[in-house]
Structure 1
Amino acid sequence: MSDPRILTLDIETAPATVYTYSLFQKVIGIGNVIEGPRILCLAAKWHGSRDVFFLSEWSQGREGMLKAIHQLMDEADYIISWNGQRFDVPWLNGEFLKVGLEPPSPHRDIDLMLTAKKRFRFLSNKLDWYARELGIGQKVNHQGIGLWRSIMEDADDVEDARKIMRRYNVQDVRLTEQIFDRMRPWIQGINMALFQGGTRCRNCGSVHLIKKGFAITTQGKYQRLKCTACGAWTREKKAIYTSNTGA
């Protein structure tokens, strides 16, 4: 058995270019669209590796960028993201559809922003705030929409803008992965034990488990286990006592 492949990713998109008569116009007709939004670049990293992949329109070309991330996603068992279930993954799927790529192999999405909303209450659910609060770091500062415009409009400072965008995108992936490691014992929906076999922590795969209390359900009583590596809780598969047998 082998360890699961865990991929952390983050995309950066270009906004649509449209004609509008007002800054307050809420509905913009299809005929007013000059160019639709698209993925400009993205970064991805395998858990446990130091290297971060950076893919972009200007380096690999649009199709080359999409084929490269498609291949990475095709190899992943888990995909880690911040707001990825609503943003990054649907965006990528839409781009795959446009260029004629089939769906990558099935994976499990672990969206850390959903974990943040469900398990914690911080001042903000932004990636930058969590990174700062946990003492991990912070996002790369930039000039805002001007950075995107420099790249989209191929401005005089486009080379500098691309370098800043790369640092920004790569840093987001590094922060997301580090937050994933900190949140591990709180995350639901991940099971490392399925890949590695034996009695292990579902969240990190460690065999260092201690017996501590019991898990009581309507069906039975189970030995509760705590991981001394990451702090997550699990239980033994076999019940000590069941409601059906009475023993």
Structure 2
Amino acid sequence: MTTNYKGSLSDDEQLCIILLIGAGDSGRTIAEILSLPYGKVRGFMEWYGTALTDLLPPPTEGPAILIFDIENTAATGRFWGKKYKTNILKVIEDWYLLCVSYKWLGQDEIGFFSIWDDPQYTPGSSDDTYVARRIWKLLDQADIVIAHNGEAFDTKKCNTRFSVHQYGPPSPYQIIDTLREDRRYFNRTSHALGDVAVALGLSDKMKHSGYDLWEDCMAGDPEALATMEAYNRQDVVVLEELYLENRAWIGAPGKKAHPNLGHWSKREGLVCPTCGHDNLHIRGYHRTTVSEFPVYYCVKKTGGCGSYHRSRTRVPQRAPADKVKLV
């Protein structure tokens, strides 16, 4: 039933254990109910707790680059005065994760999971354990993650729920925040994902009814849930397009570098640090006070990304006697 499980439990036994885990039974209780050795049950539970086999697997070669977008609820609170004031007196219910859409760069399929997929979900429930466990696993598998406002919002929101559930941090990853990078290089009227997509002629974000959609999802309305899934998935489509469109700008000479994909390359010779392509042409030189360095262009027409990178190897210098001495 489950892939990559190497133990001796049958498919039926695995299914029964999974159902009992969902019901909240302990390993010893499950072993007694199913008349199975506790060691086998415990081993399967440890494997199942980290496997989460319903997730799309990361690529087996090259960097695992996760593109993702989360949706969460609003917090509920009490306040005095007019509705535009924000001095909340008491938080009645804190926010929680609703759903996550994601894909691995270089793969076609878009994944999605939500609190409504949890077999234990009931309308109105705020238990986001099902979602938190899965996004933790994805981040733990990723070498690089891409999100719009990912540094200030998506990753911190996820970390908050990891803290609440006492998961601990996932393994380290690098962040490409498409909002931060768009602000770094451009002075647009708006850097919102949908507005930038329109300006660049990319796919549109999906239109929706506004905050009512979130309210209806929290109440478990099936039509709202379907709309939210479509909306969440489309955000990932737009996000990937924006990243690929702006990729050549990220890490332009003199700016903060794009993560170096050359670390994962198995190609001989020079490769583009931004996309891993190997068709690079010299286009000019970067000059410091005393040295010159070739600047390489990643040829977009042959499948590259169009970015520029300065070589670490300087151009051979003239003999000292031919140089102008520095005072």
- The TM-score, its normalising length taken from structure 2, stands at 0.70
For residue 25 of structure 1, what is the aligned residue in structure 2?
85
* Cα RMSD after superposing both structures: 2.0
Q: CA deviation at 1:220?
A: 2.4
Q: 67, 70, 74: which one pairs with 1:11?
A: 70
Residue 234 (str. 1) matches residue 309 (str. 2): yes
- In terms of mean alpha carbon deviation, does 132-141 or 90-99 score higher? 132-141
Matched residue SS, 1:105: coil
AA paired with 1:113? L
Give me the whole-angstrom Cα distance separating, in 2, the residues matched to 1:78 and 1:218. Answer: 35
Q: Which has the larger radius of gyration?
A: 2
Give me the whole-angstrom Cα distance separating, in 2, the residues matched to 1:51 and 1:183. Answer: 22
For residue 50 of structure 1, what is the aligned residue in structure 2?
108
Q: Deviations over 1:5-58 (max 9, x none)?
A: 1101111110011123431333112xx221011111111110011111112111
Alpha-carbon contact 1:219-1:242 (below 8 Å) kept: no
Residue 209 (str. 1) matches residue 272 (str. 2): no
Q: Give 4+ residue runs of structure 1 displaced > 6 Å after superposition.
A: none
Q: CA deviation at 1:117?
A: 0.6
Give me the whole-angstrom Cα distance separating, in 2, the residues matched to 1:43 and 1:2. Answer: 22
Matched residue SS, 1:86: helix
Residue 161 (str. 1) matches residue 219 (str. 2): no
For residue 200 of structure 1, what is the aligned residue in structure 2?
271
Give me the whole-angstrom Cα distance separating, in 2, the residues matched to 1:201 and 1:25. Answer: 50
Structure 1 unaligned spans of 5+: none
Alpha-carbon contact 2:79-2:87 (below 8 Å) kept: no
Count matched residues.
241
For residue 130 of structure 1, what is the aligned residue in structure 2?
196
Alpha-carbon contact 1:192-1:203 (below 8 Å) kept: yes
Residue 145 (str. 1) matches residue 208 (str. 2): no
Alpha-carbon contact 2:193-2:239 (below 8 Å) kept: yes
AA paired with 1:127? L
Q: Deviations over 1:151-170 (max 9, x none)?
A: 1233xxx1000000001111
Q: Deviations over 1:179-219 (max 9, x none)?
A: 11111110122211121154111111110001121111246
AA paired with 1:180? Y
**Identical aligned residues as a percent:** 31
Q: Which has the higher strand share?
A: 1
AA paired with 1:8? I
Q: CA deviation at 1:143?
A: 0.7
Alpha-carbon contact 1:2-1:196 (below 8 Å) kept: no
For residue 89 of structure 1, what is the aligned residue in structure 2?
155
Q: CA deviation at 1:240?
A: 1.5
Matched residue SS, 1:25: coil
For residue 223 of structure 1, what is the aligned residue in structure 2?
294
Alpha-carbon contact 2:262-2:272 (below 8 Å) kept: yes
**Structure with larger RCO (C-alpha < 8 A, sep 6+):** 1
